[in-house]
Every structure is written in structure tokens, then in C-alpha cells.
Amino acid sequence: MQKEAIHVLLADDDVDDRLFFKEAFEEIKIKTNVQIVKDGMELMKELNRPDAKLPHILFLDLNMPRKTGMECLKEIKENDKFNDIAIAIYSTSASEQDIEQTFVNGANVYIKKPNDFGTLKKILTEIITVNWQYHTSGLDRSNFLLSL
Amino acid sequence: MKGTGILNMSFLLKGIFASSVFILIFISIVSYKHATSLTASSDALQHSYNVRNELEQVISFIKDAETGQRGYLLSHDSSMLAPYLNARDKVNKSMYSLSILAKGKPLQEANLDTLYNLITERFAYMNLLLNASGKISMNDELLHRNLMKEQEVMNKIRMRVDNMMSLEQQFLSDRKEQFKNEMSFTPLFTFLLLIFSVMVFIFAYLRLNSQVTVLRNSNEALQLSAEQINHAEHIGAFSTWRWNSKNHEIEYSDNYAALLETGVDRKQIPFRDIIEKVHPDDRAAVIAYNQTPGSRNSAPLLYRIYRSDGDLRYFSSVGKTVHTLNGSAIYLGITSDITEEYKKNLSLQERNLELEQTNKELASFNYVASHDLQEPLRIIQTYISRIQEKEKHNLSESASEYFERIRSSANRMQVLISDLLMFSRTNKAEKVFEPADLNELLAQARQDLSALIEEKKAVIDCDQLPELSVIPYQIKQLFLNLIGNSLKYAREGVSPKIEIRKRALTDEECPQFRRNPRLKYTCISVIDNGLGFEQQFAENIFVLFKRLHQKNEYPGTGIGLSICKKIAEIHSGFIYAEGFTNQGSKFHIILPEASA
């Protein structure tokens, strides 16, 4: 068991997905601290707050109103302050174009939202147990898209 | 080549002209000199003759005087004295003539002086005797002595005259010698020169003759080419032009009138007449172009012009600076009637716009299908999995079954959506053909299907496949779909055996598959021992959504083989199937070895 709860932040505009995400972490037996924002604007506001506690892992939906996940990704990667945040793209689409662009822009992993709750739990467990500090050094296009 | 030939000829002509002029001048100079020399010789001869004549006359006059004197001395008849008296004057006259003739010849002048003195002496003696004629007798001593003296002086005179004559002879022969020296080589030289000039003229004539032939041939070729241009202009509906740098106007060929269908067979249409027909909005541009076509080198001018029948035509002018043989720049160009192309282009552009619009709509449909349709479906699926897991115990048996049915339908819908998406994304646009090892692509497909292959205990036997220029992921998809198909439609209780065979298509074989008869084709066959199908459905199975089986018997959307067909067509290839009910099926893919 870890000494400190893993801080997880999700940015997703879909209310159902937010619910599944929250419930999945409740069922996973790992100490986590889940924070959820409703879109890209809110996400950037949250991250840029002076007293913000930065997440270990950010789950980023791509298709969001006001500010898309792609825009957020670019903004985060431009700011050295956020260097330690591991970014997992969390999207319905798995189009080549999206995968390519998020990889180029420095996301750590690409998750296609599963259509099964059990799979979702497995994926999330996988993601938060990876030591991203080590993982990023061996970042590779071929295993960028997470498949279980 | 012809250009340089004509240039050479003009050099040749100039050379011949220059040498001819030179030769003529030379011959003239030589002839003039010759004539002058001849005249001088003839003058010298005449001079010599005159001198001799005068000298002989002098002698003869003196003799006349002597005869007169002697007669008088003998007869004392004074009438005998007449010749003597005349002689003195005549001698003086001749002496005067001689002195003129001797002028410029110091030797003869000296001789003449001496002669004059002698003659004077001679006459003095004669005078002496005449004066004394009354007093002296025939045998007088004085007479005798005087006659002797006279004889002596007379001899001297003769000697002197002889001397002068021989001197004259000397002059004459000198002169002859000189003339001979001067003129000896001239006739030969003149003759040689003449021969040379005749040769030059013959050479010039021959060259000119051959050049005239060349010129005539060039002229014929030129005429032919002009005729060809006229013909081409007529058929191609264009007019050639040349910019006249003197009046700063474009001069069009005859066909311009035909383009405007004026019906007038005029050689030239004046620019002011043309400009009247140009569409008012384009006039300024046409006028500007007309003034300086060279400055717009190669940039075409498009303008509208009213034909004589009132039809508005689109003309395009394009010009170019051309350098002539002598280096001066001229502007040439063509003006063509591009109305038909222009209109076609316009309608093409419109169609393109429409197509682009349609493509955009399709792309947005793709997005809707991939994202917006899948999202609610995924949520439904997730909720079902949630209920089936969490609320399992709270559901009645029938409710559980209904939920299972819902889940199955939702899953099927998801497959349908993703297959449909795959079908619509399978196209040529923006896809790159690259050389790929088909063995590698097949291995990837097998890897993706490994779980299913293992589950069905299938055996796959592959030939060595070639390297082809393809869109790699599409070919992989093709293998995936075909092998997946064979696995799916395996016979119950028979472990699937799949063969993948390759062979080159022979020239005689299946000409209907050869889109390009010049290319070589490879045929790859996927042969299985599965359910097969009736041959009558062999074409139907490639049609979108066509299925041969009940959907609850075998999973599938009826899209997979349609995708295969599309992929084969994108690769300029062909796919067809052979079915043997309950024995198996064969799928043949024919691909060109060098894809376009």
C-alpha cells in the first residue's frame, strides 16, 4: 500500500462518464483522491489556481465544449509547472488522427473509453499502478494506445 | 541549319564581291600602266624619228647651200645663189626645231650647240668664198685652202650629226629595253589573274547555284510550314501574332478574322476595330497588353470579345520574347478562343465545389458515426454491464435474459457502426501507396486474429508472398477480413484449414481482370474448408449488407467483404469468389505488381 493517496483529476463533459469514473475508483482498492471537472476551461482554471494541488494523473477527454482536450493538452505541455503530471487521453474516438496528434503533443497514454464497466476498472487500475516517472522515459508510439 | 546556310551564303557573296572588285581594280591599274608605257614608247619613237628627220634636213639644207655656192662660184650666175640664201633660214628653222626636241636631254643639247657652231663656221667659210668670188680664180691657193677647210668642217658636221643620230638610236633602244623590262611580266600576270578571276566566278556561280537550291528548298519548307500553321490555326481556333515595334501594335494572323467570324476575308483587322468588339470591362487590359506585350512575358491575358454574330467569346493571349538570328528581340504569341474550355472549366469548378461540399458532409457524417453515435451506445452498454454485475441478484430470470438480449443487440450495433465507419473510411484519398512486404502484413493480420485462430484450432498454410506497392493497412485489413471470414464460417466439428496461395496471372488468363494490359498481375487466393456457399451467390456476397446467413447463426454485419472489394478496387485490382457448399470457399484477389 502506498503512503500517499494518488491524486487523479478527470476532465469530462459527459455526466455518465463522470459517474462511471467516480464509481470505478470507488470500487478499485487503491487509495485515490478523485477530482472531477466538467470541461477544459474549468480544468485550466483549476490547474492554474495558486494553491492548486496538482494531480499525479490527469484523465483528459478530447471532445469538450468551450475548450477541447487537445487545447488543454497543448497549454499544459507549454507550462513547465505541469511537467510532473502524467496525461492520459480518455476519449470515445480512437481515430488515427487524434491518436497521432495527442502523441505528438506529449500525452502519455491514450485510452479508448470501454463499453464495459469491468474493463473500465481494469484500465484505470492499470493506469494508476504504472509508475509514470519511469514509464515516460521509455515513451513509445507503438504502446501509446492502451489495449488490454 | 538553314539559317546558318543562308548566313554563310551572305558571307560568301560578300567575299566574292570584294575579291571581284579587287581584281578589277588591279587589272585596270595594270592596263593603265601598260597603256601609259606604250604611249611613252611611241612618243619616244616619234621623237627619235623627228630628230633624225631634222638632222637629215639640216645636212640636206647645208648641201643645198653648198651646191648653190659652188654653182655661183663656177658660173657667177646670181640665180644659182637662191638655194644658198634659202638654206640658211631653213637650217635655222630646223635647228630651232631640234633645240625644242633636244630640250631635257643635256647630251643632245650639247651636241646641238656644237653642231650649231660648226654650221655657223661652215656658213662663214661659204660666205667668205662668195664674198671673194670676184677676186679669186679657179686654182687660187685661197680657194683651194678654203674648200679644204669647208670639207673639213663639213666632215665634222657629218660626224656630229652621225653622233647625234646614234645617240638618238641609243635612246630609242634604251627606251625599248626599259619597255621590255616593264612589260615583260605583265601579260603573264594579267593572264594568270584572268584565269584566277574566271575560277572565282565559276566557283561563285556554282556556290550560288547550290545556295539557290537550298534557298528554294527552304522556301518550299517555309511555305509548307506556313500552310501547316494556317491549317493548325483554323482547326485549333487560334491566331498567331507578332508585335509590331514601329506602331506598337499587335499584328494578328488572318485567322483572327475567322475567330471573330466576320465573314470578311481580310488579311488584317486594325486594332481599333478589334478593340470595339472587346467587352467594355476588358478593354483597358487589352489596350495595355497591346502596348507592351513583352513586359508581360508569358503571363496570359484573358479577355472577352463579341463575335460578329453577337456571341461572347473568351480569348486568351499568351506571348513570348524570341531572339532572332541577328540578335534582336521580337514578341510573338498566340491568341486562342478558349470559350469551350472556359465554360467546361467553370462547370467543373462548380462540380468540384459540390463534391467538396459532399465530401465535407461525408466527413462530418463519419465523425457523427464515430463519435456521437458510439457515445450513447457505449453509455448504454456500460450501464447494462453495471446492472448485470451490480443488480444481478435483484433481477428476475426473465429480466436477466432481456438484459442479455439488450446487451447483445447493443454490441451488434456497435460492430455495425464501426464496420460502417471502416467502410466509409476505406478510400484512396490522402492514402499513400508504398512498397510493402505482404508476408509482413499477413503476419500482422494473423497476430490480430491469434486468439480466434487458437480457439478454433485453425491451421493456416501460406505461400511466400511478394512485395507490392500498396496502402499497407488496407491490405492488412483485407487479410483480416478474409481470414476472419474463413474462421467465422467454419464447419461445425471440422477444424478450419486455410491456405493462402500466390501465383502470377498468365497473359491469356482472365483478361477481364486486367485493367491495364501492360502490367503484370499477381493472384492471391484464400482457400478454406468451411461452409462455403452456393456459386449463385458468389457476386452477392460482396454487396454491402448482403448476408447469406441468419444473423443469430453467425455474427457479422455484411460489410466485411464489401470492404475487401473496395480495397481491391482502390489498388486497381479485382476480387472474386468461388463457393462449394459444405466444402469450402475460395477468394481470389488480383493485384497489379506495380500499382498506379
Joined grid coordinates for residue B523? 493472384
- Which residue in the set A63, A95, A116 is minimally distant from B382, CB to CB? A116
Single-letter residue type at B437:
D
The pLDDT of B418-437, averaged and rounded, is 75
A13: contact with B, CB 8 A cutoff: no
Cell of B343: 465554360
Please state, as a whole number, how many other Cβ atoms lie within 10 Å of the Cβ of residue B422: 17
User: What secondary structure letter does DSSP report for A114?
Assistant: P
**Beta bridge partners of residue B589, listed in sequence order:** B524, B575
B64 to A102, B196, B251: CA distances (angstroms): 154, 63, 102
Alpha helices, H only, B76-105: 82-102
CA dihedral B115, B117, B123, B128 (to 10 degrees): -150
Count chain A–chain B contacts defined by CB atoms under 8 A: 39
Give percent of chain B above pLDDT 90: 5
Distance CA B251, CA B270 (A): 8
C-alpha angle with apex B89: B87 to B90, nearest 5 degrees? 65
B92, B130, B152, B406 from B155: Cα distances, Å: 19, 20, 5, 178
Asked if A16's CB is within 8 angstroms of B385's CB, the reply is no
* pLDDT score of B50 more than 50: yes
In chain B, which residue's Cα lies nearest the Cα of A94?
Answer: B370
User: Which three cell numbers, joined as nine digits, stand for B136?
Assistant: 679669186
The Cα B246–Cα B251 span in angstroms is 11
d(CA B454, CA B575): 28
| 3-state secondary structure (DSSP) of residue A111 | strand
| Residue in B382, B415, B417 to test binding to A, most A beta-carbons within 10 Å | B382
pLDDT at B352: 92
Phi-psi region of B510 (alpha: psi -120 to 50; beta: other; left: phi over 0): left
Of the ranges B197-211, B239-253, B353-367, B373-387, the best mean pLDDT one:
B373-387
The crossing angle, in degrees rounded to 10, of helices B2-75 and B82-102 is 150
pLDDT at B366 over 60: yes
- Per-residue pLDDT at B308 exceeds 60: yes
Overall average pLDDT of the B30-37 stretch: 82
| Dist CA B319 CA B241 (whole Å) | 9
Name chain B contacts of A89, Cβ cutoff 8 Å: none
Contact A8, A55 (CB under 8 A): yes
Residue-wise pLDDT for B494-515, tens only, equals 888 899 988 887 766 656 665 6
Helices (H) and strands (E) counted in chain A, each on its own, are: 6, 5
Look at residue B132 in the predicted model and tell me its pLDDT.
74
What is the model's pLDDT at position A53?
Answer: 86
* Angstroms from B281 CA to nearest CA on chain A: 48
| B189/A102: higher pLDDT | A102
Q: What's the pLDDT score for residue A19? A: 92
Mean pLDDT of A33-42: 90
pLDDT tops 80 at residue A143:
no
Nearest to B382 among A93, A95, A117 (CB): A117
Minimal Cβ distance to A115: which of B370, B382, B389: B382
Query: Which value, in Å, is the radius of gyration of the alpha carbons in chain A?
Result: 14
Given this structure, which CATH class describes domain A6-146?
A: alpha beta
Strand partners, B565: none
| ipTM beyond cut 0.85 | no
Question: Which region among B313-317, B455-459, B513-517 has the lowest average model confidence (pLDDT)?
Answer: B513-517
Cβ–Cβ < 8 Å for B277, B285: no
Nearest to A105 by CA among A84, A130, A74, A132: A74
Where are the extended beta strands (E) located within B255-340? 301-306, 312-323, 329-337
Radius of gyration of chain B (CA): 64
Residues contacting residue B555 through CB under 8 Å, at least 6 positions apart? B412, B415, B488
Q: Would the CB atoms of B375 and A92 count as touching at under 8 Å? A: yes
* Contact residues on chain B for A93, CB-CB shorter than 8 A: 370-371, 374
pLDDT, tens only, B266-281: 566 777 778 888 888 8
Confidence category of residue B468, pLDDT binned at 50, 70, 90: confident
Mean pLDDT, range B73-96, rounded to an integer: 81
Confidence of residue B596 (pLDDT cuts 50, 70, 90): very low
Assess whether pLDDT exceeds 60 at residue B560: yes
Q: Note which residues in 68-127 of chain A have CB less than 8 A from chain B.
A: 92-93, 95, 113-118, 120
Residue B219 has which C-alpha cell? 522556301
Q: How far is the C-alpha of B366 from the C-alpha of B344, rounded, in Å? A: 32
Rounded CA separation A21/A34 (Å): 9
A16, B379: Cβ pair inside 8 Å?
A: yes
Contact A91, A111 (CB under 8 A): yes
What are φ and ψ of residue B595, in 5° steps?
-80, 145
Q: Looking at the predicted structure, is the pLDDT value of residue B393 above 50?
A: yes
Could you give the percent of chain B with pLDDT greater than 70? 89
- B338, B315 in Cβ contact below 8 A? yes
With bands split at pLDDT 50, 70 and 90, how would you rate the model's confidence at B2? very low
The arithmetic mean of pLDDT across residues A30-49, rounded, is 89
Q: Given a cut of 80, is residue B164 above it in pLDDT?
A: yes
The whole-angstrom distance between residue B80's C-alpha and the CA centroid of its chain comes to 108
**How far is the alpha carbon of B375 from chain A, nearest alpha carbon, in Å?**
6
Burial of B525 (0-12, 13-18, 19+ CB in 10 A): middle
Q: What is the mean pLDDT of chain B?
A: 82
H-type alpha helices, A1-148: 15-27, 40-47, 69-78, 96-104, 117-129, 132-137
Residue type, B402: Y
Give the pLDDT of residue B541.
82
| Residue B532 DSSP label | -
- Looking at beta carbons, which residues of chain A come within 8 Å of B431? none
Question: In chain A, whose CA is at the least distance from the CA of B366?
Answer: A95
Residue B138 pLDDT = 61
Contact by Cβ (8 Å): B592, B516: yes
Q: Which residues does chain B have within 8 Å of residue A117's beta carbon, measured at their own beta carbons?
A: 382, 385-386, 389
> Residue B530 above 90 pLDDT?
no
Q: Which residue of A has its CA nearest to B369?
A: A93
d(CA A107, CA A109): 6
Taking residues B539-557, report their average pLDDT.
72
Cα B454 to Cα B452: distance, rounded to the nearest angstrom = 5
Q: Which of B29-38, B284-293, B441-450 has the lowest mean pLDDT?
A: B284-293
Concatenating the DSSP letter of every residue in B430-473 gives TPPPEEEEHHHHHHHHHHHTHHHHHHHT-EEEEPPP-EEEE-HH
Contact by Cβ (8 Å): A87, A36: no
pLDDT of residue A1: 45
Task: Report d(CA B190, CA B511) in Å as an integer.
Answer: 88
d(CA B18, CA B493): 111
Judged against a pLDDT cut of 90, whether residue B166 lies above it is answered with no
Q: Which residues of B touch A63 (CB under 8 A)?
A: 371
Give the rounded distance of the alpha carbon of B206 from its chain centre. Answer: 28
